[in-house]
Amino acid sequence: MVASASTAPAPDLDAVVIGAGFSGLYMLHRLRDVLGLTARVYEAADGVGGTWYWNRYPGARCDSESYYYSYSFSEELQQEWVWSTKYPEQPEILRYLEHVADRFDLWRDIKLGSRVSRAVFQEHRDCWEIHTDGGEVVTARFFISAVGCLSAASVPPIPGLDRFQGAWYHTAAWPHEGVDFSGRRVGLIGTGSTGIQATPVIAEQAAHLHVFQRTPNYSVPARNLPLSPEQTRQIKANYGEIRRKARESFAGFPYDPSEKSAMEVNPEERQATYERLWAEEGGFKFIYGSYNDLLFNKDSNETAAEFIRSKIREIVKDPAVAEVLIPRDYPYGTKRPPIDTDYFETFNRDNVTLVDLRQTPITEATPTGLGTTGADYDLDIIVFATGFDAMTGSLLRIDVRGREGRDLREKWGSGPMTYLGVQVAGFPNMFVITGPGSPSVLTNMPLAIEQHVEWIADCICFLRQRGLTRVEATEGAEEAWVDHVRQVADLTLFPQANSWYVGANIAGKSRVFMPYVGGFAPYRQRCEEVAAQGYQGFVLSSLPG
């Protein structure tokens, strides 16, 4: 018998959302409280917060400024919440997200400690069957992934790690009770944003810290400061304008964009600009508030790169150590630029040693530490700040089966394919918040999330108002979008780096530039146009009546 709208049993829920971080919390609120739908969030952790639940490593703080790294959807929320500093620490952001869950009464529709293991599209019912590893099975018309772009932690396969007799931790699975480094010999592997935040804090406690660096990084000081009551008052009074600027910007930061190329100004003016941004502003203003072509023009980029190299030489007293810390073989900003507090200064401490893994790669873990081709290092604790299987890893941990049994892992075997980063052809009624092919990770994340959540909610609302039960991206629209994402990336310097943006940090992962680099504002406009044209590039349908 062919199922029809009248014979197919209705799904248990309108929507299942996976993940209770920034994305999942807002998605639930939007579906349940704005659209009046039934929705449930499944969350593997024992609390909400996503990234900010897991990443409790020393020094963990946001490297975007609190006043815009926050939700904008509720005027009351943004007026009542008070941030303590320019760059809040992890516990404060987690408190904020818990407050959001309280304030909007979200907890009652969130199932904590429930990891979704499998999701299968039911063609005859236009719904998804969702399985958790606890054996729960539920059906929902829509399956929405809010699993995050940087959630599948990656520990490199170092031979012998199981024989190491000390303790080891990945920064994204940090013990809630913390780790006491006092008097301990610590090895930290990885010098991305995380390692760069953790290094100065661990160095203050540990007896000795060895930093194992494979790729040096261009880091810019955060210049973190408490926010004064007057600054807070001004931010709150200007939120309308701040959010507008962010929405209309290239990367979602509410900074005044520079109209100039770095090549347009003379070297003295350029130096003065970089000096001012380095000394007074810090953070992402260095890249997004200086010149408009640092990510596009190699010569322009080199001026900023060389400025940072000169700062490293100035800060680090031992010239040999400084040379190892200086990045040379990829353009500035083409790996996600870290923001630090006293990172380079930390290498002036007597209890910190830099190990250059390019000269002497790690060969094995031993019962007493780490061995490299140059030496053995005795360690009590190893910290893996080695990053994530980014953008695809956390979704592909779930066995996702679309129409006619299509396997998402197979479909993405040679790199992720999406339409607008939000849907995958062959996987109807599945939405991905900040998926590959969207500007998410190159953007101020909460803003990118809000845009996706609202677009998805509007799409669902459109279907329901018309009695439709299925939405699926066409293969043609998906192919065209994937081509566009690649073409736009090729106009930039991004593909020149071995970054997690291209999956280079994961052995065997296909090398594809995953985020959309065409800019947040143009992307948003494209999404709006697609919706205004009745969801162009999607097929909308309903079960036979």
Copy the structure tokens of residue 398: 């779930």
> Applying CB under 6 A, which part among 1-9, 194-202, 464-472, 525-533 lies near ligand N01?
194-202
Rounded least distance, CB 16 to ligand N01, Å: 26
Count of residues interacting with ligand N01 (CB under 6 A): 24
CB 375 within 8 A of CB 178: no
- Cα Rg for the chain, rounded, in angstroms? 24
**Near ligand N01 by CB under 6 A: residue from 19, 148, 192, 402:** 192
* Binding segment toward ligand N01, per CB under 6 A, in 193-201, 256-264, 348-356, 410-418: 193-201
**Contact letters (x/-) for ligand N01, 426-465, by CB under 6 A?**
----------------------------------------
| Burial of 80 (C-beta count, 10 Å sphere; 0-12/13-18/19+) | exposed
Q: DSSP letter for 348, please.
A: T
Question: Which of 27, 62, 100, 325 is close enough to bind ligand N01 by CB under 6 A?
Answer: 62
One of 70, 193, 301, 434 touching ligand N01 (CB under 6 A): 193
Q: Which one-letter DSSP state was computed for residue 284?
A: T
Contacts of ligand N01 in 328-387 (CB under 6 A): 336, 357, 362, 385-387
The 477-506 contact track toward ligand N01, x by CB under 6 A, reads -----------------------x----x-
Of 56-64, 173-181, 295-303, 310-318: span binding ligand N01 (CB under 6 A)? 56-64
Strands 116-122 and 127-132: antiparallel
Region of 36-44, 71-79, 186-194, 326-334 interacting with ligand N01 (CB under 6 A): 186-194
Q: Which two tokens stand for residue 84?
A: 């303590």
Q: 501 is written with which tokens?
A: 């943006």
Residue 322 three-state SS: helix
Considering only the stretches 61-69, 240-248, 295-303, 347-355, report the one whose residues sit in contact with ligand N01 under the rule CB under 6 A.
61-69
CA-based nearest residue to 407, from 423, 392, 426: 426
For residues 208 and 197, give the distance between their C-alpha atoms in angstroms, rounded to a whole number: 17
Q: Any idea which residue has 């729960």 for tokens?
A: 136
User: Which residue in the shown chain puts its C-beta closest to ligand N01?
Assistant: 192
215 part of the interface to ligand N01, by CB under 6 A: yes
Nearer to ligand N01, 106 or 222 (CB): 222
Which phi and psi angles does 85 have, rounded to 5°? -135, 170
φ, ψ of residue 484 to 5 degrees: the values are: -65, -45
214 binds ligand N01 (CB under 6 A): yes
Site mask for ligand N01 (CB under 6 A), range 144-163, x = bound: ------x-----x-------
Task: Say if residues 187 and 199 touch (Cβ distance below 8 Å).
Answer: no
We find the least distance from the C-beta atom of residue 317 to ligand N01, in angstroms, to be 23
Q: Taking the complex as a whole, how short is the minimal distance between the CB of residue 22 and ligand N01, in angstroms?
A: 11
- Alpha carbons within 13 angstroms on the beta-carbon side of residue 383 total 36
CA distance linking residue 110 with residue 410, whole number of Å: 30
Interface with ligand N01, residue 56, by CB under 6 A: no
- Asked if residues 283 and 223 have their Cβ atoms less than 8 Å apart, the reply is yes
Per CB under 6 A, residues contacting ligand N01 are: 62-64, 150, 156, 189-195, 197, 214-215, 336, 357, 362, 385-388, 500, 505
